[in-house]
């Protein structure tokens, strides 16, 4: 019985048309598309997008489409689909790492007086250090989904030529840990972003509290070999809370960018509160719920 | 429940640590809070920086504290050019320009430079003293596309420029009007007139003292008018608490409880987006002797009123605009009256051809160029003393003097 069925008995016997891993890959593809849009908005802040800043903007939609294509052809040709997905997702990890490195370069002042080369305020005002890591997160998530675990929930990943690779955790627990780390990254990103405003709104403290809670719960669950029903229900409730938090955050960011009588000024949406960023919490919540689905792999 | 308890404990620990950090943070001296407060070049080994720290340390110190230095923009990015670039000089094994042009700024700030190039601060400012004769064909076309070009520069050109000579004007007219001077590379304007080099500070550009460099004195005393206006008083008494480095395009009344020159004319504020076209929100050509509406003035008015609306209600704004329009037309009538007074003299050839060679030239010129414009600026910027005693009163006085001077000339001509 899946964790979702354990936590919610009324879903037992209901079957999703897509397996857990298929849904994960679909989510990874959609995430890539959104990351492209989000990066475009973020890189537009300075008014001029430099040539290398186009890389993630172009990569996001291209990667998203490639993953969708891989998902479609996987129904008949699993091996080439795996190849396309794996290369795309590996490239996503690379784009994320290079992006974070470039953002990090903007945060440090190597020639500043000793002791001032790196400071918290520099991290706050620099391009978001953790932003590009979203590409890494999606890449790792996608690769986790693409790898086949055989037998289900064993923690043994199937490799070509009949070989297997034992992992320290089962795929399900790996997903939980990934969700926890993803929420933690989203939380740190929001903390640095909100620090620019001096935490002048109570809503920001709510985001901090819920974010900490929602980062801790999946990590704890991922470390448990045998979670109880109440643990799974707390986790599920937390994921739903994340979805609500992200949606609320996005609405609040949109509201902060509206002026006067609700007039939309594009500039404010680009340079003001990023309305897509809070949806990362919702994204992690959705991912967390999908992770609870049955681990059995029925396709390919 | 174990996961719930661990989650709650994690929240308590993090919020507790945040509280401790905030409490300790408040009790220790404030560290620098924003980029630009640290000299990013203090220990630089870059050849330009090392050498100029000895040769021109002030410039390096300024640039080291700029957000551009923090963003890793180097001296070479702006100063290094190809050998065949206009104005290139050989320097330490490379080619540089002493004065980077708007085209250089446009490499990163393309939209800002494009907006500026279409504004009254661009070619119209230069043409006001130099005329259109100095413009190349492409620049002439660019000039003609700017709304202010309709004022036929040769007629408007201030003949004082020629009269005074460059010995004086390079320290006078040109100093301000070169904000729109064309460069040898074909680009227009000097961004550093408003964004002083080498700090390029956002706060400096937003402060009204920056505009004060040119918008001061009897011909257009906007700085003085602003100081006596409620907006200027708010700035003088509380401006030190405003958020001068707030992110462009996101400004609200929390950042600027009252406006500066930049807030009304340039900044993204309220429901109006950022612009570098100073005429983008103006309704009238207030600078001209007899003011008329600008092209698409209704759109401009909406953009300006969107700024006003962040503090003032609709009735206040509508009422203010209606009354200011009437006041502008009233000043127009006075200037029109002066034109009609002088017309018989022109018709009968009783005015000398040379400019500014007899008292009536000065009276006639100052009537609109000083007092008429001051009255109009005073109206629109809410400076009562400048509307009244430095504006309308002086117009009436000048009209009286002009009337006497005209009559004397006509009387003298009649006797001949």
Task: Report domain extents, chain A.
Answer: 3-290
Distance from the Cα of A150 to chain B's closest Cα (Å) equals: 28
Would the CB atoms of B32 and A119 count as touching at under 8 Å?
A: yes
Which residue of chain A comes nearest to B36, CA vs CA?
A: A122
Q: Does B310 touch chain A (CB under 8 A)?
A: yes
Residues A100 and B177: their CA atoms lie apart, in Å, by 45
Largest interatomic CA distance in chain A? 65
Q: Is the pLDDT of residue A260 over 70?
A: no
pLDDT, mean over chain A? 90
Comparing CA positions, the residue from B374, B402, B401, B399 lying closest to residue B388 is B374
Nearest to B250 among A46, A113, A272 (CB): A272
Contacts of A272 in chain B (CB under 8 A): 247, 249-250
Q: What is the pLDDT of residue B216?
A: 97
Residues B101 and B197: their CA atoms lie apart, in Å, by 12
Distance from the Cα of B6 to chain A's closest Cα (Å) equals: 7
Which residue of chain B comes nearest to A115, CA vs CA?
A: B38
Would the CB atoms of B271 and A238 count as touching at under 8 Å?
A: no
Nearest to A217 among B3, B32, B273 (CB): B3
Which residue of chain A comes nearest to B8, CA vs CA?
A: A213
Reported as a pLDDT band with limits 50, 70 and 90, residue A300 is: very low
Average of per-residue pLDDT across A78-107:
91
Residues B78 and B348: their CA atoms lie apart, in Å, by 58
Q: Is the pLDDT of residue A299 over 60?
A: no
Q: What is the pLDDT of residue A96?
A: 96
Reported as a pLDDT band with limits 50, 70 and 90, residue A38 is: very high
Residues of A (52-81) whose Cβ lies below 8 Å from B: none
* High-pLDDT (> 70) share of chain A, %: 98
Interface test with A, best of B1, B2, B5, B7 (most A CBs within 10 A): B7
Q: What is the pLDDT of residue B29?
A: 53
Q: Does B108 touch chain A (CB under 8 A)?
A: yes
Residues of A (6-45) whose Cβ lies below 8 Å from B: none
Would the CB atoms of B268 and A46 count as touching at under 8 Å?
A: no
Would the CB atoms of B32 and A116 count as touching at under 8 Å?
A: yes
Written as six digits, the tokens of A32 are 């890539």
**What is the length of chain B?**
416
DSSP collapsed to 3 states, chain A: CCHHHHHCHHHCCCCCCCCHHHHHHHHHHHHHHHHHHHHHHHHCCCCCCCHHHHHHHHHHHHHHHHHHHHHHHCCCCHHHHHHHHHHHHHHHHHHHHHHHHHHHHHHCCCCCCCCCCCCHHHHHHCCCCCCCHHHHHHHHHHHHHHCCECCCCCCEEECHHHCEEECCCCHHHHHHHHHHHHHHHHHHHHHHHHHCCCCCCHHHHHHHHHHHHHHHHHHHHHHCCCCCHHHHHHHHHHHHHHHHHHHHHHHHHHHHHCECCCECCHHHHHHCCCCCCCHHHHHHHHHHHHCCCCCCCCCC
Q: Does A198 touch chain B (CB under 8 A)?
A: no
Q: What is the pLDDT of residue B32?
A: 46
Would the CB atoms of A271 and B45 count as touching at under 8 Å?
A: no
pLDDT in tens, chain B (416 residues): 677 877 787 887 787 777 767 665 665 555 445 666 789 999 999 999 999 999 999 999 999 999 999 989 999 999 999 999 999 999 999 999 999 999 999 999 999 999 999 999 999 999 988 888 889 999 999 999 998 888 765 555 678 888 899 999 999 999 999 999 999 999 999 999 999 999 999 999 999 999 999 999 999 999 999 999 999 999 999 999 999 999 898 899 999 999 999 999 999 998 899 999 999 999 999 999 999 999 999 999 999 999 999 999 999 999 999 999 999 999 999 999 999 999 999 999 999 888 899 999 999 999 999 999 999 999 999 999 999 999 999 999 999 999 999 999 999 887 55
Nearest to B112 among A47, A111, A267 (CB): A47
Would the CB atoms of A213 and B33 count as touching at under 8 Å?
A: no
Q: What is the pLDDT of residue B223?
A: 98
Average of per-residue pLDDT across A221-246:
95
A161/A255: higher pLDDT: A255
Q: Does B71 touch chain A (CB under 8 A)?
A: yes
How distant, in Å, are the alpha carbons of B287, B357, B374 from that of B219? 9, 20, 7
What does the DSSP assignment read for B96-165? Answer: E-SS--HHHHHTT-HHHHHHHHTSTTTHHHHHHHH-STT--HHHHHHHHTSGGGGG-HHHHS-THHHHH-
Nearest to B40 among A109, A121, A230 (CB): A109
Distance from the Cα of B409 to chain A's closest Cα (Å) equals: 59
Would the CB atoms of B271 and A47 count as touching at under 8 Å?
A: no
Q: Is the pLDDT of residue A172 over 50?
A: yes
Comparing CA positions, the residue from A235, A245, A248, A240 lying closest to residue A281 is A245
Q: What is the ipTM of this complex?
A: 0.78
Contacts of B272 in chain A (CB under 8 A): 265
Residues B57 and B95: their CA atoms lie apart, in Å, by 21
Would the CB atoms of A260 and B41 count as touching at under 8 Å?
A: no
Reported as a pLDDT band with limits 50, 70 and 90, residue A298 is: low
Which residue of chain A comes nearest to B313, CA vs CA?
A: A260
Average of per-residue pLDDT across A16-41:
92
Contacts of B273 in chain A (CB under 8 A): 265-267
Q: What is the pLDDT of residue B210?
A: 97
Average of per-residue pLDDT across A210-238:
95
Q: Does A114 touch chain B (CB under 8 A)?
A: yes
Written as six digits, the tokens of A43 are 């890189």
């Amino acid at each position: 019985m899946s964790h979702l069925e354990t936590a919610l008995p009324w879903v037992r016997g209901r079957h999703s048309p897509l397996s857990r891993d298929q849904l994960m890959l679909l989510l990874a593809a959609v995430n890539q598309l959104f990351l492209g849009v989000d990066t475009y908005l973020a890189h537009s802040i300075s008014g001029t997008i430099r040539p290398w800043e186009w890389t993630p903007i172009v990569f996001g939609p291209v990667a998203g489409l490639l993953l969708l294509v891989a998902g479609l052809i996987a129904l008949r040709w699993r091996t080439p689909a795996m190849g396309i997905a794996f290369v795309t997702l590996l490239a996503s990890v690379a784009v994320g790492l290079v992006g974070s490195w470039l953002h990090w370069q903007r945060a440090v002042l190597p020639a500043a007086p000793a002791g001032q080369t790196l400071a918290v305020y520099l991290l706050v005002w620099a391009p978001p250090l953790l932003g590009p890591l979203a590409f890494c997160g999606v890449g790792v998530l996608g690769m986790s989904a693409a790898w086949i675990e055989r037998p289900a929930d064993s923690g043994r990943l199937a490799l070509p030529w009949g070989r297997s690779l034992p992992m320290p955790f089962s795929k399900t627990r790996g997903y939980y840990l990934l969700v926890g780390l993803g929420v933690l990254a989203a939380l740190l990103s929001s903390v640095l972003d909100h620090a620019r405003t001096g935490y002048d709104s109570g809503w920001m403290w709510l985001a901090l509290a819920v974010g900490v809670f929602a980062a801790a719960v999946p990590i704890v669950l991922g470390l448990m070999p045998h979670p109880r029903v109440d643990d799974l229900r707390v986790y599920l409730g937390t994921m739903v809370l994340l979805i609500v938090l992200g949606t609320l955050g996005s609405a609040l960011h949109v509201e902060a960018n509206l002026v006067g009588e609700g007039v939309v000024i594009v500039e404010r949406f680009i340079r003001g509160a990023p309305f897509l960023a809070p949806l990362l919490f919702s994204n992690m919540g959705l991912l967390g719920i999908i992770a609870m689905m049955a681990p059995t792999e029925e396709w390919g | 429940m174990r996961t719930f308890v661990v989650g709650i404990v994690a929240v308590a620990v993090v919020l507790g640590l945040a509280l401790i950090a905030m409490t300790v943070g408040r009790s220790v001296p404030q560290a620098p809070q924003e980029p630009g407060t640290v000299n990013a070049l203090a220990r630089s080994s870059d050849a330009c920086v090392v050498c100029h720290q000895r040769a021109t340390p002030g410039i390096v110190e300024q640039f080291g504290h700029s957000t551009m230095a923090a963003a890793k923009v180097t001296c070479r990015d702006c100063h290094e050019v190809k050998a065949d670039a206009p104005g290139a000089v050989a320097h330490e094994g490379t080619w540089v320009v002493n004065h980077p042009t708007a085209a250089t700024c446009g490499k990163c700030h393309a939209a800002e430079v494009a907006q500026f190039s279409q504004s009254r601060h661009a070619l119209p400012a230069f043409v006001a003293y130099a005329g259109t004769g100095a413009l190349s064909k492409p620049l002439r076309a660019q000039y003609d596309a700017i709304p202010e070009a309709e004022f036929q520069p040769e007629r408007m050109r201030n003949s004082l420029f020629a009269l005074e000579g460059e010995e004086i004007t390079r320290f006078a007219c040109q100093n301000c009007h070169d904000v729109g001077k064309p460069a040898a590379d074909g680009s227009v304007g000097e961004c550093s007139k408003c964004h002083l080099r080498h700090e390029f500070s956002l706060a400096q550009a937003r402060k009204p003292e920056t505009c004060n460099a040119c918008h001061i004195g009897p011909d257009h005393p906007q700085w003085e008018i602003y100081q006596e206006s409620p907006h200027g008083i708010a700035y003088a008494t509380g401006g030190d608490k405003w958020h001068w480095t707030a992110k462009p395009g996101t400004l609200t009344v929390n950042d600027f409880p009252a406006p500066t020159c930049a807030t009304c004319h340039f900044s993204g504020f309220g429901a109006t987006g950022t612009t570098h076209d100073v005429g983008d929100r103006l309704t009238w050509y207030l600078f001209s002797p007899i003011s008329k509406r600008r092209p698409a003035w209704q759109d401009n008015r909406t953009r300006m009123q969107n700024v006003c609306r962040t503090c003032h209600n609709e009735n206040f704004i509508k009422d203010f605009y209606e009354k200011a329009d009437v006041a502008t037309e009233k000043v127009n009538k006075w200037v029109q009256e002066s034109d009609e007074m002088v017309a018989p003299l022109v018709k009968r050839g009783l005015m000398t051809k040379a400019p500014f060679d007899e008292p009536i030239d000065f009276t006639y010129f100052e009537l609109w160029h000083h007092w008429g414009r001051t009255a109009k600026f005073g109206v629109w910027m809410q400076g009562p003393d400048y509307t009244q005693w430095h504006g309308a009163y002086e117009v009436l006085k000048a009209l009286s003097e002009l009337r006497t001077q005209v009559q004397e000339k006509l009387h003298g001509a009649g006797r001949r």
